[in-house]
């Protein structure tokens, strides 16, 4: 009887460089998983790629991106961060299911080309957009199901107290296919309501079993305390390991003693942190001509405490941020620079923040080993420093053992 071993491999990647291995290695792929890893695989394959000594990594994970709002900037125009909070609803009232699907599809095409295999997408669910944005993202998810895993976070951008419709709409979205529940306590009008916001979101997570990703301490104001509220609420409900806090910029402006205490609380609560330096560095930094607070968190202190930290890009050409081309190498690069990560080990960690650490944040393993999913990126250069140096670089994106995207650049050159 013929077995799968009798037929050719689906894909053979020759002469790959793996970050933790000496010399070049071949990867044989069959039925969407890595079937063999060895220096010289001579078995036949339907398709062969010559990596020519290029680095092969797990595909990238974008851990925090507002997919429903991307490319919507022309609807409202250029505004300040404070105005963005107040006027976020203005763009959304123009959204239709077809329009959200079209914009999200454009972004997903870009994401797949860049090597993103998994995206955790925030999706506004509130009085302004109801479930329109969510329906649009469900359609886009369906269209790109073979190329990217899309995780949808139902996000109450307009508040949970201030927007009385939000709690019910969140439950509807979760029942209809959303994967996680989001939050933004800063959308509320006072500190008591921020605390209620955190409690309402965590109660929904406890009730439904989904993970939480909450925007905390977005602005660079030391008086914001929502990360501490999230940590306390997570511990109270025993939700350790299921919660991510994103942004956390205010933490950088706390006193050292206060920051240390909050980081310890975050660690105890098993909270992961997603930093978003790409968008936040432009949006924040105080009113002076020279930015005196940065739109970044205490990345090294969080890492030193043993907290899982990942980096995402947040927004693309919407009212919050005008740039971004969804390149995780660029996100890792900016994360590295903004956090002052200088040593070889720190640069490796910055790259992990868009690969292995981001994967862990969304509950995925990221390993190149026999039996692991063949979700990979073949780079045009042989090590992480050169990947970061040669932005955007040449790369090929493989999903479930099939080439789904990639990019080439005339300025890639150095191994």
Residue 69 CB, nearest approach to Zn ion (Å): 10
Judged by beta carbon, residue 332 or residue 393, the one nearer Zn ion is 332
- Parallel, antiparallel or unpaired: strands 376-379 and 309-311: unpaired
Residues belonging to the chain? 415
Size of the site for Zn ion (CB under 5 A): 1
Residue 65 CB, nearest approach to Zn ion (Å): 8
Judged by beta carbon, residue 16 or residue 353, the one nearer Zn ion is 353
| Residue at shortest CB range from Zn ion | 314
Residue 284 CB, nearest approach to Zn ion (Å): 13
Residue 226 CB, nearest approach to Zn ion (Å): 13
Judged by beta carbon, residue 92 or residue 399, the one nearer Zn ion is 92
Judged by beta carbon, residue 88 or residue 132, the one nearer Zn ion is 88
Residue 306 CB, nearest approach to Zn ion (Å): 24
Which positions from 124 through 183 interact with Zn ion, judged by CB under 5 A? none
Residue 290 CB, nearest approach to Zn ion (Å): 26
Judged by beta carbon, residue 29 or residue 116, the one nearer Zn ion is 116
For residues 283 and 82, what is the distance between their CA atoms, to the nearest angstrom? Answer: 10
123, 97 in Cβ contact below 8 A? no
Which positions from 288 through 347 interact with Zn ion, judged by CB under 5 A? 314
333, 391 in Cβ contact below 8 A? yes
Judged by beta carbon, residue 30 or residue 357, the one nearer Zn ion is 357
Name the site residues for Zn ion (rule: CB under 5 A): 314
């Amino acid at each position: 009887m013929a077995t799968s071993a009798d037929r050719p491999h689906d894909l053979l990647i020759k002469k790959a460089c793996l970050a933790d291995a000496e010399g070049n290695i071949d990867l044989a792929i069959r039925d969407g998983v890595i079937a063999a890893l060895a220096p010289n695989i001579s078995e036949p394959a339907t398709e062969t790629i010559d990596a020519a000594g290029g680095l092969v990594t797990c595909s990238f994970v974008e851990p925090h991106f507002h997919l429903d709002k991307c490319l919507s900037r022309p609807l409202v125009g250029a505004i300040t961060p404070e105005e963005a909070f107040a006027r976020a609803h203005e763009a959304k009232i123009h959204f239709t299911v077809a329009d959200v699907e079209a914009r999200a599809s454009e972004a997903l095409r870009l994401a797949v080309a860049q090597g993103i295999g998994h995206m955790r997408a925030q999706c506004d669910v509130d009085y302004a957009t109801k479930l329109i944005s969510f329906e649009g993202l469900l359609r886009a998810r369906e269209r790109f199901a073979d190329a990217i895993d899309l995780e949808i976070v139902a996000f109450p951008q307009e508040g949970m107290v201030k927007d009385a419709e939000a709690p019910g709409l969140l439950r509807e979205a979760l029942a209809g296919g959303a994967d996680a529940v989001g939050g933004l306590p800063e959308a509320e009008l006072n500190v008591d309501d921020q605390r209620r916001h955190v409690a309402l979101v965590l109660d929904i997570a406890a009730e439904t079993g989904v993970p939480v990703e909450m925007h905390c301490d977005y602005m660079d104001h030391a008086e914001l305390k929502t990360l501490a509220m999230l940590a306390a609420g997570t511990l109270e409900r025993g939700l350790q390991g299921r919660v991510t806090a994103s942004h956390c910029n205010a933490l950088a402006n706390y006193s050292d003693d206060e920051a240390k205490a909050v980081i310890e609380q975050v660690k105890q609560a098993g909270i992961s942190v997603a930093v978003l330096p790409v968008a936040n560095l432009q949006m924040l930094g105080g009113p002076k001509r020279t930015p005196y607070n940065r739109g970044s968190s205490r990345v090294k202190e969080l890492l030193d405490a043993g907290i899982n930290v990942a980096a995402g890009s947040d927004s693309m050409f919407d009212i919050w941020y005008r740039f971004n081309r969804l390149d995780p190498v660029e996100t890792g690069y900016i994360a590295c620079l903004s956090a002052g990560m200088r040593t070889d080990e720190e640069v490796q960690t910055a790259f992990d923040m868009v690969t292995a650490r981001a994967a862990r944040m969304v509950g995925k393993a990221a390993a190149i080993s026999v039996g692991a999913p063949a979700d990979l990126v073949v780079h045009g250069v042989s090590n992480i420093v050169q990947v970061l140096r040669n932005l955007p670089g040449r790369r090929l994106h493989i999903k479930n053992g099939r080439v789904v995207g990639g990019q080439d650049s005339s300025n890639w050159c150095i191994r």
